[in-house]
Amino acid sequence: MSNILPAILAKNEKDLREKIYAASEFAESVQIDVLDGTLYKANCWADPEAIAALPLPIPFDAHLMVAKPEDVALLWVKAGAKRIVVQRDAPGNLGKVLEQVRKLNREFGLAINPEIDLAELEEFIPFLDYVLVLGVPPGAQGRTFDPDTIGRVRNIRAKHPNLKIGVDGGITDSAHLAHELAAAGADELVVGSSLWRAKDPAAAYRAIAEDAIV
């Protein structure tokens, strides 16, 4: 069974606060997506200093979809992120981010876009706690899942049986995607729009969690 992690792409502080409190009713932690327009066109509200001051009910990860993650990673660690995930295609200093995260005993993960060859992961594998395989191009939520993602997860799992693997993007409570990804070796499924566009996010979460049982 794969763990289900709600993703929050916030419009503003109120939106983030409402979603993380809603998620606390059915999930153990969430992923906060961070987009500032420097790496991709999309933007969202993600202020680590403001978040640090909030009494959040559950832990969170930070997925930094920014050009220079080394400029903000430490702020997110100090805000309370238990895991920092950065983009493989970010042109910044990934080694510096790793150093910052490790120094404060947090987990470090690398996200890889659908079009990036899996071979580009290999040099980082010894330093990773987590690989996040994106099932859609990064940016806005609600895009269609790329079915090749399942084979990519299976490939990573075969080469690295002890590596923690997550999948983010396009996962719904239909088409048994969660089941196929769990069977391929995914430890964690990150789900955003399928939860927040549902009439009952808790029910949508439970449906995906049940489908992820293998």
Query: pTM for the full model?
Result: 0.96
Q: Which two three-digit tokens encode residue 90?
A: 């970010």
Alpha-carbon distance of 51 to 78, in angstroms, equals 10
pLDDT of residue 35: 97
Query: 74, 98 in Cβ contact below 8 A?
Result: no
From 33, 61, 187, 211, the catalytic residue: 33
Q: Which two three-digit tokens encode residue 76?
A: 């997110």
Alpha-carbon distance of 135 to 171, in angstroms, equals 8
pLDDT, one tens digit per residue, over 111-138 is: 999 999 999 999 999 999 999 999 999 8
- Partners of 168 in beta bridges: 134, 190
Average pLDDT over residues 163-188: 95
Give the fold, CATH level 3, of 3-211. TIM Barrel (3.20.20)
The verdict on whether 168 is a catalytic residue reads: yes
Alpha-carbon distance of 80 to 50, in angstroms, equals 11
Helix axes 177-184, 148-159, angle to 10 degrees: 20
Which uninterrupted H or E stretch holds 4? Answer: strand 3-8
CA atoms within 13 A on the CB side of 131: 31
Alpha-carbon distance of 80 to 67, in angstroms, equals 21
Tell me, what DSSP letter sits at residue 118? G
**Amino acid residing at 17:** R
Q: Which two three-digit tokens encode residue 109?
A: 């993960």
Q: Is the pLDDT of residue 142 over 80?
A: no
Burial of 156 (C-beta count, 10 Å sphere; 0-12/13-18/19+): buried
pLDDT of residue 140: 64
Q: Is the pLDDT of residue 143 over 90?
A: no
Residue from 48, 14, 8 nearest 27 by CA: 8
From 61, 168, 173, 187, the catalytic residue: 168
Q: Which two three-digit tokens encode residue 180?
A: 């196929």
Average pLDDT over residues 78-96: 96
Confidence of residue 29 (pLDDT cuts 50, 70, 90): very high
CA atoms within 13 A on the CB side of 31: 29
Tell me, what DSSP letter sits at residue 175? T
